Amino acid sequence: MAGQGTGIDVRPALLASVAGLVLVAAGCGAEGDDDGGGDGNAFKAGANRICRELGVRSAAVAAPTSPASYVSYGRETADVLDDVRRGMAALELPAGANRGPAQRVVAAFEAFAPQATKLRSMADAVAAAPADPAATGRAKETLRDVGAVLVRVGDGADPSFERLGLKACGG
């Protein structure tokens, strides 16, 4: 068992968590996303842009197929999480009654920061000992833990997403 696993089983869960969360938050492809004017439309349009960029970047991250590939996977995925978090934080918040829900959506994405740090630490640990089966095992655990946190972030923010009319898409 030691050294036999490739970690491919955790990639779909992690990227699906990231992509699913952002797709739910952004409402990609929903009608009326970019209709201009109205409270929250600029926020919604910006979230859609972030969603589309995430989809492209997530698809480009190669799944780990060897212990050494966890290094690039961890770092690339951490970069995606950081960019999504920063992008959401940079969006102009709507005024009025939608400001609070938009702030909660942005705050939900702040949970990406410590997860990105964990992924970079995982990558550094595997880089320091690429032949160590224990390092690969810990990397798999890290990916599962990060994925679980991202799912919880999405679950906790759903009421705000709905309040803003940010509809789920893609599944």
According to the model, what pLDDT value does residue 170 have?
Answer: 28
pLDDT of residue 71 exceeding 80, the answer is yes
Q: Which domain holds residue 131?
A: 10-163
pLDDT digits (tens, 9 = 90+) for 26-58: 444 343 433 333 467 888 778 777 877 877 887
* Cβ count within 10 A of residue 129: 12
Q: Which residues contact 116 (CB under 8 A, 6 or more apart)?
A: 77, 78, 79, 81, 82, 85
Q: Is residue 170 part of a domain?
A: no
Q: Is residue 130 part of a domain?
A: yes
In terms of phi and psi (left: phi > 0; alpha: psi -120 to 50; beta: otherwise), the region of 3 is left
Higher pLDDT, 151 or 56: 56
Domain tally, the chain: 1
According to the model, what pLDDT value does residue 116 have?
Answer: 92
pTM of this prediction? 0.72
Q: Is residue 169 part of a domain?
A: no
Q: Is residue 29 part of a domain?
A: yes
Higher pLDDT, 37 or 113: 113
* Cβ count within 10 A of residue 17: 21
